[in-house]
A = this chain, B = another copy of it.
Amino acid sequence: MRLSQYHLRTVKEIPAEAVLASHKLMLRTGMIRKLASGLYTWSPLGLRVLRKVEAIVREEMNNAGAVELLMPSIQPRELWDETGRWEKFGGQLLKIKDRKEAEYCYGPTAEEVITDFARNEIASYKQLPVNFYQIQTKFRDEIRPRFGVMRAREFLMKDAYSFHLTKDDLAREYRNMYDTYVRIFERLGLKFRAVEADTGAIGGFASHEFQVLADSGEDAIAYSTGSEYAANIELAEAITTATRPAPSETAARVDTPKQTTCAAVAELIGLPIERTAKTICVITVDSESNTDSGDMVMAILRGDHEINEIKLTKAIGEYRLATEQEIRDALGTVPGFIGPLFDGEGNIGPTPRPIRIIADRAAAVLSDFVVGANVPKFHIRGVNWGRDLPEPALVADLRNVVEGDPSPDGQGTLAIARGIEVGHVFQLGDRYARDMNCTVLDETGKAATPMMGCYGIGVSRIVAAAIEQNHDDAGIIWPAAMAPWQVAVCVINPKDEPTVTAAAAALYDELTAAGHDVVLDDRGLRPGNMFADIELLGIPHRVVVSGRGLESGTYEYRGRRDTESTALDHRALLARLAG
């Protein structure tokens, strides 16, 4: 590609609404242009990158045995009524009426359409298993479209749906898709984690999210430094390997006039925060009637840990936080000084009222620790389970994991990272097939409801996620597989120096013939502006052809992550590009 014959337009000024690096850089490079809220035109440059991602996804899906088809983007309401999702899907579903007032939606996903296709196409178990996929435009009417194509309304998605006679076969294909996704994201050159996800409302058997790691990611994930283990931070199990040391202190009141946090108390006393405990008071709720069941529960966590609501719910059922008034009524104190022990008239002992006290695993192995005194402005130090207060009524995993926790699979320790969800695999089970009366004849000639899996990849979102992960102040730093071009050949003074222009064109032809994906920057910009553009665009290799270089028989080479240029002769250049 010769840039002089291409449409490239980088810009300096971009709207203030662009806050994410990927959004800013996609606008500055001109990869995308906003048409309306959540709607973007992919310019020639942007589309080049999008198509590279699409091609890799398609190739790996085909290699995995999935077969591509193409469903309409517009879907009839009738199918969505069969699963009840016409009403349940919510405001993201863009509903449409045609000229005859028939109702449709712009598909945000295609479980209904593919299940309808399957019930018409698949009659016998002999046609199973099968995995249909498409790479197609989807629409979700986001309340707040933002971050460019990261959360656009119209977007490009690969969605696959597999059908199976048995749960075991579904699990086999699920693993196949999981492995395929790993290959896809590895080929794309992205740092990612496959993360155990909550099967939540859809109620399937298993689910993993594929998260591209980036500091700006919306999701927090915990992953092992020593294995493949990764999970959403809410789901990762917090392991405590420590055991409780023997007591060595006597419980004693401490004056903490202004210290309402564990950190402040620890600092005042001169103890590490890991020796403090925080107390969270909650009221259990009857989940059926959604009314208080009236019991207060105290959850004790180590001072440096955070409560995990999903885990606490798992331990004690539905709950709500206690109000300040409820705390005052029950304990006669205010938040900041709550604890599982009472400091009554100088005596330290268990709470007078029977409040259920449960402890996180890490809090349960503390000894000589610090808690609130249930008297404003006082804490108690040197507290020990079983001596100063009873052993916890329940010891459970109640907290979010933290950096350095042992990995739940026993290999390595956990690190915390932020991620951008770019893929999701899901064992749906038979829910859609059942709702839509999709059956196949099994080996015995009986009608059986097939099991389904679904497997999505946000093709357009990958482009933004890759930029979030790979950029610096000068612009994008593309992974090789996603770069719009691998090599930029830059011509200095193309109009004034015909020899240089000819040499650059010859190099361009030679590299192209050798299979490199090359762009020739023959626009005639000043070197500074040209180099800034090429850096902004994130081209992995830059080769400058200049009059001075030709005299010495060298090209000026610079990799996108290099800090300096290197003069390379023809042979060295080819070797560098080949490697």
Contact = CB atoms under 8 A, between A and B. Distances in A.
A440 to B, nearest CB: 13
Contacts of A37: 102
B33 A76 contact: no
Contact of A39 (B69, B72, B143, B153): B72
A35 B71 contact: yes
Interface string A3-45: 0011101000000000000000000001001011101111110
A44 B133 CA distance: 9
A47 B70 contact: yes
A414 B37 CA distance: 54
Interface in A33-81: 33, 35-37, 39-44, 46-47, 50, 65, 67-76, 78
B74 A33 contact: no
Interface string A135-178: 00101010100000000011000000000000000000000000
A291 interface: no
A35 B75 contact: yes
A74 B7 contact: no
A68 B96 contact: no
Interface stretch (A115-123, A359-367, A426-434, A507-515): A115-123
A537 to B, nearest CB: 16
Nearest to A9: B121
A43 B69 contact: yes
B67 A41 contact: no
A495 to B, nearest CB: 13
B73 A44 contact: no
Contacts of A40: 72
A353 interface: no
Contact of A94 (B68, B96, B113): B96
A72 B43 CA distance: 11
Contacts of A154: 72-74
Given A7-B130, A96-B94, A96-B96, A139 B44 contact: no
A91 interface: yes
Nearest to A98: B141
Contacts of A287: none
Interface string A84-98: 000000010010101
A127 interface: yes
A263 to B, nearest CB: 44
Contact of A36 (B65, B70, B76): B76
B117 A33 contact: yes
Contact of A41 (B30, B44, B72): B72
A50 B141 CA distance: 29
A223 interface: no
A28 to B, nearest CB: 14
Contacts of A6: 67
Contacts of A44: 67-69, 132
A98 B108 CA distance: 14
Interface in A316-337: none
A558 B91 CA distance: 57
Contacts of A121: 7, 9, 30, 33, 43
Nearest to A117: B41
A33 B39 CA distance: 30
A526 interface: no
A106 interface: yes
A99 interface: yes
Given A94-B98, A113-B41, A130-B7, A120 B33 contact: yes
A30 B116 CA distance: 15
A497 B96 CA distance: 56
Contacts of A99: 91, 94, 141, 143
A71 B141 contact: no
Contact of A74 (B9, B39, B50, B113): B39
A67 B519 CA distance: 14
A113 B143 contact: no
Contacts of A153: 74, 98
24 contacts: A5-B65, A6-B67, A7-B67, A7-B127, A33-B121, A36-B72, A36-B74, A36-B76, A36-B104, A37-B102, A39-B72, A39-B74, A40-B72, A42-B69, A42-B71, A44-B68, A44-B69, A47-B69, A73-B73, A74-B106, A74-B139, A98-B141, A99-B143, A106-B106
